[in-house]
Structure 1
Amino acid sequence: MELDRHPLAHLRRQHNWSMADLAHLLRAQARARGLRSGIDRNRVWRWENGTTPNEESQTLLADLLGVPVVVTEQLRWPDWLPAFEQPRPFSPSGSRAALREVQVTRMDRRSFLVLSSSTLVDLAADWARIEPRHLDQALGGRQGVDTELLEWLERRSLELRTMSSGPHSHVASLIDAHLHTTVDLIAQDRYAPEAGRRLHAVAADLAHVAGWLRFDADRHADAQRHWQAAVHAAHQARDRDLAAVALSDLAYQATWLSRPADAVRILEHARSRTRAPAARSLLDVRRARACAVLQDRSGTQRALASAEAELERVRPQSTPPVVSWMSVADVNADAGRCWLDLGDPARAGTVIGAGLRELDPRRARTKAVFLTYRAEGALHSRDAAAAAADARAALDTALGSGAARCVDLVSAFISRLDERTEQPIVELRAYARDSLAE
């Protein structure tokens, strides 16, 4: 893949336009506006080789490509071009462009995805094969961010990550404000190399957390943009584990949205450069989940065995914050989901129950998901009372967490019970109607 190609050249190839074709279309666009334009093939060539088009030419091009004016105003040339169905290159400029993407306000449909299957896999592959020596060439510039500011940003980032797991209603706005401030500091390019590394580490951490808040709100395209930005920023910060975890989040999202084959391919690349056992354990669990959906029993068993083995190697003092929450509870409960997908509800119920008993009570969103899985397993085992009890607890927990993704999950499960006439199920449906109507 050509990582350094100009996005305008990529767009031309997408539309099968020569430089002359594009110039002709832009002249026609100008005539439709009652304007005269001297755009020709040579001018297009200059744009693709470092010259910035004037404002009128950019307006004509935006009209032709259907890009809203607000996007061209918020992103500089050529970053507003809708060419990056392709991954951003893992260079300082490519990473800055990926980070600036999260500053743009968009009206995404809840289920829309901005990155295709091939793009997600390419992003993971590019990161996995990028030469480590490029990291040392990534940052530079003049001193401009002092130690006091850096330390403050780092403290706030860690505090906001901790707060994001709770029911704090304004934490998303606080995270976005700190992320945008950090991206602005990076864009100014006035810092020494070590300060730049630390700034990118803060940006990666905040973008990663912001992606999860959007995923929980069913804002999938926005989550993808933030996780892609987190991969880029973590790469510039030399944080391989955080980059790998952000890639694994994209894989988890792919499985959640019924694209498990994409998840397996992403995770193969992501795991190749992890350092922390907790990170490898997390990636193994997510691979197991994808394999189970694909009905790959042996692949699921291998991944779960590896996840357990890696977890035994974890040492809290050397575990990065991004995976400090990873525990036996997560392996057990996700293993239960795997056994459900593979048609073994009794085994699923046992391990999900163990996971729930061991789960940190502060992780309400995770609890809601695991309770829904256990309710599904109980239903497969023909235990209507247990299924109704778990579904009711899952709904209460999901509503208390405020996570639309979790509410949708348990609501979808309850909606599948419309034809059931057992008394506990009838009562559950009535309870759900009342709870969701409030």
Structure 2
Amino acid sequence: MFMTVEAVRHPLTYTRDQRGWSMEKLAQHLNLAARRRGLRIAADRSRVYRWEHRRVGAPSDLYQELLADVFGVDPARLRTTGWPWWLPAYDRPFPFSPAGARAAHTELLVDLDQPDRRAFLVLTAGSLVGMAADWARVEPERLAGALAGRRVDEGLLTWLESSVGRLPGLANTSPQECVDLLCAAMRATIRLLDSARYDGPTGRRLHTVLAQAAQSAAWLHFDQGRHASAQRHWRTALHAAHSADDRDLGAGVLSDLAYSATWLGHPGEAVDILTHARTRTRHATARSLLDVRRARALAVLKDDVGTARALNEAEHQLDRGRAQTAPAWVSWMSSADLSVDAGRCWLDLADPRRAAAALEEGLSLLVPERERTRAIMLTYHAHAALAGRDVDAAVTDTRAALDTALGTGASRCLDLVRNTLSQSLEPHRDEPSVRELRSYARRRLTSGPV
């Protein structure tokens, strides 16, 4: 059973409810777990109640170990993730229904209140594939009418739509301010969805605003390495897009999740997710994005034939999309993006000459404000130069990538540069240009030596 907005207040509550346990039942399990260790404790309902309602601090180390035993959680997670976020509270997808959408809203609100949950992924890769399959199969349910409360004001709704559409433009220059404003927009939109009165068209507009804001926020969290929070935002975006009956936007969110899966080492799951997403995609530019991300995953899997086909289809769909007005969420998709992803594909398939050519084309086409993409392109171009045994060119690209990444403040870009410095350039560490670059990087980076 999935909990409503009012019922989900604490991850421990959710974890109990998933198992159908009362507070008394959980206390009994804790006492049994203690006895197995030869210990005697006095766990009871009141103790569990205090934990769930934050009337006390975190449980003692012993009680946390017993809780991990009861819920089947690896004890190592306790040392890397603070209470209560190591609990397996949100480890399966919500259904695509009004109750599931409300549960997704609640999960996002909890995340906005606890922004430091970053150490574990909410869903396993297999669960992500299952969520994509459900999304492709289930038809959106029409909104059931106005909820109790005040009617949505048209002026406020128009302002929300306009603001959320403009906010991603702040991501390169003011990422934290962009996150703060997106959070405010999501809170306001969820509050309207949950308590205001509105008709069907207005409800779909509100869900679209929420989907776009959550999707934009997810990318910002992803860029900062906060993958758990990014996943929660993408999941809310998917539910909101589904409630809005916007299949292209939902497919775009799934393509983001697939990109994340590839980035985190799950390319097979990414291919499965994209296969489900492609079945519901309508706009050619949206299909192009899915195809290029499918190519990225296939390249990691060393499927050169599949990669080439996916890239060709992505180019074909992008050309078709130019005759149409692309949806706002994918309006950034361009030939430059196709080129950078193609370059990464050819690098993964050990074809550095094709990679360098694609990346050079992408760099020449990229608009100036896309600095995060430029930093990634430059890093990939350095890898292509190294594969071609041109160390000096790789050093030049890496230095430019470092300067660009520092300007964006995106952890994802900086991590790519650090890995290039510490791993890819390591075999050439004695060459003067590499030594000079490493010295320069130490001066510029504030997070320690490379």
The normalised TM-score by structure 2 is 0.81
Corresponding position of 2:80:
none
Does the 8 Å CA contact 1:111/1:218 hold for their aligned counterparts?
no
Distance 2:98 2:324 in 1: 31
Rate the CA distance shift 1:229–1:25 in 2: closer, same or farther, 3 A. Answer: closer
Query: Could you say which residue in structure 1 is the equivalent of 2:83?
Result: none
- In the TM superposition, 1:33-432 aligns within 5 A as 82-104=88-110, 105-106=113-114, 108=116, 110=118, 112-131=120-139, 134-137=140-143, 140-141=146-147, 144-315=151-322, 318-416=325-423, 417-420=425-428, 421-432=430-441
Range with bigger deviation, 179-188 or 159-168? 159-168
Distance 1:186 1:65 in 2: 36
Letter matched to residue 109 of structure 2? Q
8 Å Cα contact 2:271/2:294 also seen in 1: yes
Contact 2:298 2:306 in 1 (8 A): yes
Q: Is the 8 A contact 1:88 1:98 kept in 2?
A: yes
Q: Report the Cα offset of residue 83 of structure 1.
A: 4.6
1:18-61, Cα deviation, whole Å (9 max, x unpaired): 869x8544457699256689xxxxxxxxxxxxxxxx9789669x
Contact 1:139 1:197 in 2 (8 A): no
Q: State whether residues 2 and 103 of structure 2, in contact with CA within 8 Å, keep that contact through their aligned partners in structure 1.
A: no
SS of the aligned residue for 1:318 comes to coil
**Change in 2 beyond 3 A, CA 1:59/1:434:** closer
**Match of residue 32 from structure 1:** 42
Is the 1:252–1:286 contact (alpha carbons within 8 Å) kept by the matching residues of 2? yes
Alpha-carbon shift at residue 222 of structure 1 (Å): 0.2
Structure 1, unpaired ranges of 5+: 38-53, 68-80
8 Å contact kept, 2:207–2:240: yes
- The Cα shift of 1:191 comes to 1.9
| Structure 1 residues 262 and 13: alpha-carbon distance in aligned structure 2, compared to 1, 3 A threshold | farther
Deviation at 1:106, TM superposition (A): 3.2
Measured after TM superposition, the shift of residue 313 of structure 1 is 0.5
Deviations 1:303-322 (Å, cap 9, x if unpaired)? 10110010010136521011
State whether residues 171 and 178 of structure 2, in contact with CA within 8 Å, keep that contact through their aligned partners in structure 1. Answer: yes
Query: What SS does the corresponding residue of 1:362 show, helix, strand or coil?
Result: coil
**Contact 2:24 2:45 (8 Å CA) reproduced:** no
Q: CA deviation at 1:170?
A: 1.3
**Distance verdict in 2 for CA 1:177–1:150, change over 3 Å:** same
Determine what percentage of the aligned residue pairs are the same residue.
50
Which amino acid in the other structure matches residue 106 of structure 2?
R
Deviates more, 1:392-401 or 1:414-423: 414-423
Structure 2: distance between partners of 1:127 and 1:138: 20
Give distance in 1, aligned partners of 2:43 and 2:233: 37
What RMSD, in angstroms, separates the aligned Cα atoms of the two structures?
A: 3.2
Report Cα offsets for 1:61-107 as digits up to 9, x if no partner. Answer: x989679xxxxxxxxxxxxx955311111111211211221222336
- Secondary structure of the corresponding residue to residue 87 of structure 1: coil
Alignment size in residue pairs: 402
* In structure 1, distance between residues paired with 2:369 and 2:235: 27
* Counterparts in 2 of 1:13 and 1:157: CA distance versus 1, 3 Å: closer
Q: Are the structure 2 counterparts of residues 179 and 137 from structure 1 closer, same or farther at C-alpha, using a change threshold of 3 Å?
A: closer
- Shift of the alpha carbon at 1:166? 3.5
Q: Quote the offset at 1:171 in angstroms.
A: 1.4
Assess if the C-alpha contact under 8 Å between 1:144 and 1:192 holds in 2. Answer: no
| Higher alpha-carbon deviation: 187-196 or 403-412 | 187-196
Deviations 1:268-316 (A, max 9, x none): 1111101111111011110000000000111101110110010010136
TM-score, with normalisation over the residues of structure 1? 0.83
1:173 to 1:3, Cα distance in 2 relative to 1, 3 A: closer
